[in-house]
Structure 1
Amino acid sequence: MGFDFVRLKRNSFRLNMAGKRHHFIPQFLQRGFASLGDVHNAWVFHKERSAINTNIKNIAIEGQFYAHEGDTSVDDKITDVEGSLAAFVTKLCGAPDGTAVDSHKAAELINHSLVRTRHVRQNFQRTSEQLLRKTYAALMDPEKLTAVLIRHIQTDENFPNLVRKRLVLELANVVPEEQIAEAVEALLPAAIQHLAAAMPDEIRRTAPDHARALEAEAKMAFESSLLREAVKQAHLKALRLPSAPTTREDAFAELTFEVRRFAEGDIILGDSVAVYAVTGERKVTPLNDSATPMIGVLLPLDPETCLIGELGEPCESFSTAASIRRSIAECSLEFFVAHRDSIDNRQLVADIGKSAHLLSQDDVDDIMKSLNLAGDDTHPN
């Protein structure tokens, strides 16, 4: 086979993720793609840098990636399960082509490897930043800001309650306490009508000041680490959840899994780790949701071996080594790992990121339209 030395190394490898340097792609997966003749190193092909052969301990690593303000509970939780998952991967790598795999064990391995990645965190951060930038850009236009606020007061079901609260405050020192409620209800219709008519002019008058304030707020938000820290904390919160099977694992468990081998396939390991096959315009994606039904999932194990789960019919994207390599590269956000340097791998770098996004540009535009923040539909009537 040519890769037995990797499996032997996996068996003897003692997992030890605890510390300041956290691997966001498990080392027990990376070691399947160790360089020929050197089980300690692997090749990294980065979207924006030259290919490099380096020690696996330095690949897919970030300081305190799973820790926050001294809390290492996520790191500890991940470390606790890595031993059994590594042993499972070793077993899979030694299995013959076509070996059936327990769907629940496969689901646990894939879900663990997928949700912990930097790819997930970076993708959510980039998507959030993209939406925030577009929102700020729209609202920093005084005319658009005016249109949005006017539309809000005209359609907000809570507007009467806000007027009611304002009346209570204004009548507190004028009307006896026991008569306030009755007075408020008597005055409410006229107050709502008056404010609804007067507020648009007030909004138009103050919109430029609000727009300038939003511009300063946007500058602070994007120049600071606020968004990055917020996404990190949200990711860690999700990883802290109890280890009971997740909705994603339940979906994986519906698939039929088997070990599939591709002789001299030069399979690579992407930074998304796993790849989904889906129905829709995109054939593969690093993450899926209810809007993009999953029909299969793939986890590369070594240059000749993949764990593949399929729902019914075989997935075209997982049918050949070439289609698998392309799918993995397209779903990678920044880099992929390989066991050797080659012209084919260097050319494959051009495909990195093609299918890595959570939202397409059309998805983003649809969201902005739903918020009345796209095109000319934001301008006041």
Structure 2
Amino acid sequence: MAGRRHHYLPQLIQRPFAFRQSGKEFYVRAYHRTRGRFTPNTAGLGKELDFYGGPEDTSLDDAMTSGEGELAKVVQALNRGEHPSPIEMATLVCALAFRTKAMRDALAGMMPAIVSALRIKVLDISRIRRDLLASLNDPKERKRQIFQAIDSGPPQSREQRAKAYAALLPAWKKYVSAREDELVGQAWATASLVMDKIRSEATNMAQASYLEVLSRDPTVPARARKLVEEMVFTVIQAPEGQSFILGDCGPVARFSDGKSRLVLGAVNQDADIEHIFLPISPSRCIHARVPSSTWWPSAAEINKISASLSVEFFISDRESGEDLEALRESIGTLDPVDSEEDIIQELLDQAE
């Protein structure tokens, strides 16, 4: 166990950006969305209390910590100019992509949109009317409702219940027709209460889902294998006089619709990942791309994507620069997946 303050941006990826080392302590230049520039120790940067769960269950944090040794070896090998296998690079990308605060917040942000889309569907009055009437006129449901009404009165024998059912059955359609608006209104009100409760708990639901998915395997091996099958992995060198930054979002991606998002993916089913970038030092960046893509981004373009998709800060090896201040101002300006409006519309379109 590494304590209750957990790194969502692990030190193994921060340390290559350090401008100073003192023993086992590494210091970086961090550019924060609200705090400006400061020079923290990586031991305290990119951490949050109980990020991977509380002290009652440390299994996920323990698993994350134990797996960092192999990931660190890949980062170190790449920064020595060696050539780890594509699956090792893909595993590093996937392990860092899903564990960040940016990814958790993105999932939490998606949940209200998903609930809103569901609410629109569920509370469609014409749909409620159609489904309710179909249900009430279903033979099994009709029988259940009639016997429920019979049993709400005085106790009766089996024969008496059967006679009562036979007497009431012919009047069922008339009963439903007469009370149609009232029944539909009751069904809508009940559904609305349920959806309001779900919406109020959406963030907690998203957090629980995030931890559940992450606990299955912190390195997400299936996703790593899929990336290797679909993409070519290389390492980009920063041109002389330029350098990469590391955003607190970790890896970032560019999609076939021209938008940049987190590696999680797009809600739009027609938007596929074409590029993934993970800076591993000021001079090196892992680049995965689909073979058909001909777009070759500059270091400045990669940096803009990383900063814009970050939640709070990015790290640079440089002490100052107009471009760094511009990047700091761009922190959090891109939707990590899609806007809430786009998510709602896409989900509604998919449900048609």
In 2, distance between residues paired with 1:58 and 1:184?
72
Q: Does the CA-based 8 Å contact 1:95-1:259 persist in structure 2?
A: no
Counterpart of 1:237?
Answer: 212
Counterpart of 1:279?
Answer: 256
In 2, distance between residues paired with 1:210 and 1:285?
34
Measure how far apart 1:287 and its partner are. 2.3
- Where in structure 2 are there 5+ consecutive unaligned residues? none
What TM-score results when the alignment is normalised by the length of structure 1?
0.74
In 2, distance between residues paired with 1:185 and 1:357?
61
* Count of aligned pairs: 338
- Where in structure 1 are there 5+ consecutive unaligned residues? 1-16, 373-381
52, 56, 63: which is aligned to 2:49? 63
C-alpha RMSD of the superposition: 3.8
In 2, distance between residues paired with 1:245 and 1:125?
20
Counterpart of 1:194?
Answer: 175
The verdict on how the C-alpha distance between 1:366 and 1:235 changes in structure 2, with shifts beyond 3 A counting, is closer
34, 44, 50: which is aligned to 2:36? 50
The verdict on how the C-alpha distance between 1:304 and 1:149 changes in structure 2, with shifts beyond 3 A counting, is same
Q: Deviations over 1:40-70 (max 9, x none)?
A: 2222223344232222122110011112361
Query: Within 5 Å, which residues of 2 pair with 1:34-183?
Result: 34-35=18-19, 40-68=26-54, 70-95=56-81, 101-130=84-113, 132=115, 148-149=124-125, 151-155=127-131, 158-159=135-136, 160=138, 161-172=140-151, 173-174=155-156, 176=158
In 1, distance between residues paired with 2:173 and 2:129?
10
Query: Within 5 Å, which residues of 2 pair with 1:318-357?
Result: 319-340=297-318, 341-357=320-336
Counterpart of 1:31?
Answer: 15
Q: Deviations over 1:243-289 (max 9, x none)?
A: 78644222211221122211332211112200112101414544215
In 2, distance between residues paired with 1:292 and 1:230?
26
Measure how far apart 1:155 and its partner are. 3.0
Counterpart of 1:295?
Answer: 274
The verdict on how the C-alpha distance between 1:326 and 1:184 changes in structure 2, with shifts beyond 3 A counting, is farther
The verdict on how the C-alpha distance between 1:190 and 1:313 changes in structure 2, with shifts beyond 3 A counting, is same
Measure how far apart 1:301 and its partner are. 0.3
Amino acid at match of 1:33: F
Measure how far apart 1:177 and its partner are. 6.9
The verdict on how the C-alpha distance between 1:314 and 1:221 changes in structure 2, with shifts beyond 3 A counting, is closer
Q: Does the CA-based 8 Å contact 2:274-2:289 persist in structure 1?
A: yes
Counterpart of 1:256?
Answer: 232
The verdict on how the C-alpha distance between 1:358 and 1:178 changes in structure 2, with shifts beyond 3 A counting, is farther
In 2, distance between residues paired with 1:291 and 1:184?
54
Measure how far apart 1:132 and its partner are. 4.7
Q: Does the CA-based 8 Å contact 1:286-1:355 persist in structure 2?
A: no
Q: Does the CA-based 8 Å contact 2:233-2:286 persist in structure 1?
A: yes
Query: Within 5 Å, which residues of 2 pair with 1:208-227?
Result: 226-227=201-202
Measure how far apart 1:199 and its partner are. 3.2
- What SS is found at the alignment partner of 1:54? coil
Measure how far apart 1:112 and its partner are. 0.7
The verdict on how the C-alpha distance between 1:298 and 1:171 changes in structure 2, with shifts beyond 3 A counting, is same
- What SS is found at the alignment partner of 1:336? strand
Identity of aligned residues (%): 22
Q: Deviations over 1:11-44 (max 9, x none)?
A: xxxxxx7111100011100112223677622222
